[in-house]
DNA sequence: TTTAGGG
DNA sequence: CCCTAAA
C-alpha cells in the first residue's frame, strides 16, 4: 500500500512530472543568457597593467590603411571591428600581440616621405606576409635598429633638421605582434636602439621545449597529436578574415626555426604587419604632444599606441623545495603556458574605468590624442566561461586597477590559432620571468613588473590556481575541482528524492539551475559518489564530512528509486 | 542533448 | 572529473 502510494506520488509523497524540455530555440536562448551572466561575473578577472600613449594622426597612416595587412594592426581596425562585436570577441580571444606606441620622429613625414629613407610602404614591401619572430622585444629593437640606421644614412634629410611639416603629434605605431610578429611602423623620435641583441640560444631551447611541452599536453586529447591550426579553426579568428587568415596561414606553414632565421636575415620583416588584432597589456613608453594641425585633425585621425609588454595575470605555483631551479623554471613555464592556452579577452580601461561600450568610437570614448599617459590600459581576461564563479565578484562595476591582476584559476584548452600564438607570447613572457637578468628588455619599466609575476606561496586555496608539477598536464584540460558543499549535497538529495535517479537534467534545473559549473553529469556523478560514501565507513570518507542524516537519505532514496525505477517508468508512461 | 557507466 | 556509447 505504501509502496503503491509512493509509486504514484514519488518519493516523499511528491509527484514531480518530468520537466518539459523547452524547444530548441528557447533552450538556446537560455544558454545565451547564462553566458551573458557569466560574462558579467567574470568580467575583470585578470588584469594587465598598461599604459598607453595616444597621439594625433599622420597622413602616412592613411596610406597605410590601404595596406590591408597593415590595417590589421591599427587601432582604427578596432573601430571597424567594434561594429562586428562577435568577431571582435573572437579575435580577442585567440590572439595576442604586443605593440608599442612610438612617437614619430619629428622628421618630415617619416612614414610616407622618402626622405626618411624608410617608409612604411618600404617596410611592407620588404616584408613577406609571413614574417614572424619569436620575441617581440627583439623584434622591436631590431626594428628600431634598422630604422635608426636608415635614418642615419639616408635620412639626414639633406642636412636639414628633421623639421616637421607635420605635427609632432604624429606617432608611428609599432605593433609587435608576437604571434605573427607583425608590426608596422616607422621610426621613433629618439632613434637610439637600445639593447638589441640577437636571440640567444637559450631562447631557442626554450622554444623547443615549449613547443614540445605543448604538444605533449595536447597530444593526449587530440588524435593526431599536433593539430594546431586547421583552416577551419583559423578562419573565424580575425576581423578581416580573409587577410588575416591568409597571413596566419602562411605563418603557420613556416617552420618555427625557419621563421626565426628568416627574421634575423630580414630585419625589416619585424616591422609590420600584424595579422592579429589587438590584445595584451600595455605600457607606455613616452608621450608626445597632441596633434596641432587642425587639418589633420579633420581627417580620419588615428590613435597610435605601443604596447610594450604583457603582464601575466597573477598565479601561483607549488613546487617542492627539493626541486631544481630548472624544474622551477619549467613549472613556471607550464603555468604561463596554461594561462595563455586559455582564451583571453581584452578589456579596455580608460582613466581607470572600464570601457564597456564596444560600439563607441575611440573618439567618443575619449581614446584619442587628448589623452594623457596612463590614461589607457588594456586588460587580459581569461575566458569567462572557464573561470569559477567563486572567483568572480558579482559586482562587475568594480574595476580593478590595470596593474592589479587577479588570480586565474582556469584555462581552457589550447586551440588552433591560439595555440601557436600562445607559444609566441609565452616566449616573451617566460623570458621576462626567467631571464629577467638578461638585458633583453627594451624598457626597464616592464622588466621590473614582470619580475614580480610569480609568487610562490604554496597556498592550497581552491580558488587559486595551484600548479604542482604532477598536475601541470591537466591544468589546461581539466576543469577545476570543486567539492560539493553540504548545502549542495542537501539540495541534490532533496531533488533526487523527488525526481529520482534518472532525471539528472531535471535535477539540475530544479536544484542547480544557478550553478553554472554543475552540469547534470556532475550531479549524476556526485550522486554516485554519495551513494558510495554512504555505504562505506565514516573512517574511510574523505573531504568535508557529509551529515549522516543526508547520507541516510541518500541510501534511502537510492534504494527507493532503484527498486522502483521500472515500475515508475511504467507509471509515467501510463 | 541526455542518460548511464566505466575510467 | 572525464569520456563516450546509446538513446
pLDDT tens sequence across A196-243: 333 332 333 332 333 333 333 332 222 222 222 322 222 222 233 322
Rounded distance in angstroms from the CA atom of residue A282 to the C1' atom of nucleotide C1: 37
pLDDT of residue A358: 76
Q: Which nucleotides of B are covered by protein (CB under 7 A)?
A: 1-7
Rounded distance in angstroms from the CA atom of residue A522 to the C1' atom of nucleotide B6: 15
Q: How far is CA A175 from CA A81, A247, A271, A438, A448, in A?
A: 17, 15, 8, 23, 22
Contact residues for A385 (Cβ-Cβ < 8 A; gap 6+) = A35, A38, A42, A412
Dist. CA A409–CA A465, nearest whole Å = 4
By C1' distance from the Cα of A505, the closest nucleotide is B2
How far is residue A281 CA from its own chain's centroid? 11
Place of cell 567574470: A42
In the structure, what pLDDT confidence band is assigned to residue A448 with cuts at 50, 70 and 90?
Answer: very low
Residue A49 has pLDDT above 60, yes or no: no
Nearest residue to nucleotide B3, by CA–C1' distance, is A502
By C1' distance from the Cα of A31, the closest nucleotide is B1
Q: Between A550 and A56, where is the model more confident?
A: A550
pLDDT of residue A551: 94
By C1' distance from the Cα of A223, the closest nucleotide is C3
Give the SS3 label for residue A116: helix
Give the pLDDT confidence of A251-282 residue by residue, as tens digits.
Answer: 222 223 222 222 222 323 233 333 333 334 33
DSSP tag of A489: H
* Beta strands at A344-350 and A376-382: parallel, antiparallel or unpaired: antiparallel
By C1' distance from the Cα of A21, the closest nucleotide is B1
By C1' distance from the Cα of A22, the closest nucleotide is B1
pLDDT average, residue stretch A53-81: 33
Residue A423 has pLDDT above 80, yes or no: no
Q: Which residues touch strand B (CB under 7 A)?
A: A 21, 27, 31, 501-506, 520-521, 524-525
Residue A483 has pLDDT above 60, yes or no: yes
Rounded distance in angstroms from the CA atom of residue A338 to the C1' atom of nucleotide B2: 31
Q: Which nucleotides of C are covered by protein (CB under 7 A)?
A: 1-4
In the structure, what pLDDT confidence band is assigned to residue A562 with cuts at 50, 70 and 90?
Answer: confident
Q: Which residues touch strand C (CB under 7 A)?
A: A 221, 477-482, 517, 521-522, 525, 528-529
The answer to whether the CB of A72 falls within 8 A of the CB of A244 is yes
Quote the mean pLDDT of chain A: 47
By C1' distance from the Cα of A388, the closest nucleotide is C1
Percent pLDDT > 70 in chain A is 20
In the structure, what pLDDT confidence band is assigned to residue A302 with cuts at 50, 70 and 90?
Answer: confident
Q: Between A345 and A165, where is the model more confident?
A: A345
Q: Between A18 and A3, where is the model more confident?
A: A18
pLDDT average, residue stretch A39-65: 32
In the structure, what pLDDT confidence band is assigned to residue A369 with cuts at 50, 70 and 90?
Answer: low
pLDDT of residue A508: 94
Give the pLDDT confidence of A149-190 residue by residue, as tens digits.
Answer: 333 333 333 333 333 233 222 222 232 233 323 222 223 332
Amino acid at each position: 500500500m505504501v509502496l503503491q502510494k509512493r509509486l504514484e506520488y514519488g518519493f516523499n509523497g511528491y509527484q514531480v512530472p518530468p520537466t518539459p524540455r523547452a524547444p530548441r530555440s528557447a533552450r538556446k536562448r537560455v544558454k545565451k543568457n547564462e553566458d551573458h551572466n557569466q560574462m558579467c561575473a567574470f568580467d575583470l578577472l585578470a588584469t594587465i597593467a598598461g599604459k598607453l600613449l595616444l597621439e594625433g594622426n599622420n597622413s602616412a597612416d592613411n596610406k597605410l590603411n590601404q595596406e590591408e595587412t597593415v590595417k590589421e594592426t591599427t587601432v582604427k581596425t578596432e573601430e571597424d571591428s567594434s561594429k562586428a562585436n562577435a568577431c571582435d570577441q573572437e579575435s580577442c580571444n585567440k590572439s595576442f600581440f604586443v605593440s608599442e606606441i612610438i612617437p614619430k620622429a619629428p622628421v618630415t613625414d617619416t612614414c610616407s616621405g622618402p626622405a626618411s629613407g624608410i617608409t612604411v610602404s618600404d617596410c611592407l614591401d620588404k616584408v613577406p606576409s609571413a614574417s614572424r619572430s619569436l620575441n617581440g622585444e627583439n623584434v622591436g629593437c631590431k626594428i628600431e635598429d634598422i630604422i635608426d640606421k636608415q635614418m642615419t644614412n639616408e635620412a639626414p634629410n639633406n642636412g636639414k633638421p628633421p623639421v616637421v611639416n607635420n605635427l609632432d603629434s604624429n606617432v608611428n605605431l609599432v605593433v609587435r605582434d608576437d604571434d605573427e610578429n607583425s608590426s608596422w611602423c616607422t621610426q621613433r623620435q629618439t632613434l637610439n636602439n637600445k639593447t638589441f641583441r640577437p636571440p640567444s640560444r637559450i631562447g631557442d631551447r626554450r622554444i623547443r621545449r615549449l613547443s614540445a611541452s605543448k604538444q605533449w599536453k595536447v597530444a593526449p586529447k587530440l588524435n593526431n597529436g599536433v593539430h594546431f591550426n586547421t583552416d577551419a579553426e583559423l578562419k573565424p579568428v580575425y576581423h578581416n578574415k580573409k587577410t588575416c587568415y591568409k597571413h596566419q596561414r602562411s605563418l603557420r606553414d613556416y617552420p618555427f626555426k625557419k621563421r626565426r632565421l628568416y627574421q634575423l636575415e630580414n630585419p625589416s620583416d619585424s616591422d609590420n604587419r600584424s595579422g592579429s588584432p589587438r590584445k595584451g597589456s600595455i605600457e607606455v613608453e613616452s608621450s608626445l604632444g597632441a596633434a596641432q594641425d587642425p587639418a589633420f585633425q579633420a581627417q580620419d585621425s588615428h590613435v597610435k599606441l605601443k604596447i610594450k609588454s604583457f603582464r601575466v595575470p597573477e598565479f601561483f605555483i607549488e613546487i617542492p623545495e627539493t626541486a631544481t631551479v630548472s624544474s622551477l623554471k619549467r613549472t613556471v613555464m607550464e603555468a604561463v603556458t596554461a594561462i595563455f592556452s586559455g582564451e583571453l579577452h581584452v578589456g579596455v580601461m580608460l582613466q581607470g574605468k572600464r570601457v564597456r561600450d564596444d560600439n563607441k568610437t575611440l573618439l567618443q570614448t575619449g581614446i584619442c590624442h587628448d589623452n594623457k599617459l596612463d590614461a589607457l590600459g588594456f586588460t587580459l581576461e581569461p575566458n569567462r566561461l572557464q573561470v569559477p564563479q567563486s572567483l568572480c565578484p558579482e559586482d562587475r562595476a568594480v574595476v580593478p586597477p590595470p596593474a592589479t591582476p587577479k588570480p586565474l584559476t582556469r584555462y581552457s584548452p589550447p586551440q588552433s590559432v591560439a595555440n601557436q600564438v600562445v607559444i609566441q607570447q609565452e616566449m616573451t613572457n617566460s623570458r621576462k620571468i626567467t631571464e629577467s637578468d638578461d638585458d633583453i628588455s627594451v624598457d626597464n619599466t616592464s622588466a621590473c613588473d614582470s619580475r614580480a609575476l610569480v609568487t610562490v606561496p604554496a597556498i592550497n586555496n581552491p580558488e587559486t590556481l595551484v600548479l604542482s608539477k604532477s598536475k601541470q598536464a591537466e591544468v589546461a584540460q581539466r576543469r577545476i575541482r570543486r567539492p560539493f558543499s553540504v548545502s549542495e549535497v542537501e539540495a541534490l538529495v532533496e531533488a533526487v528524492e523527488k525526481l529520482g535517479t534518472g532525471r539528472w537534467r531535471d535535477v539540475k534545473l530544479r536544484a542547480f539551475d544557478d550553478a553554472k559549473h554543475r552540469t547534470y553529469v556532475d550531479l549524476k556523478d556526485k550522486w554516485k559518489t554519495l551513494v558510495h560514501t554512504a555505504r562505506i565507513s565514516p573512517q574511510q570518507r574523505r573531504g568535508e564530512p557529509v551529515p549522516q542524516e543526508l547520507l541516510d537519505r541518500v541510501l534511502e532514496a537510492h534504494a527507493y528509486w532503484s527498486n522502483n525505477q521500472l515500475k515508475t517508468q511504467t507509471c509515467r508512461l501510463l
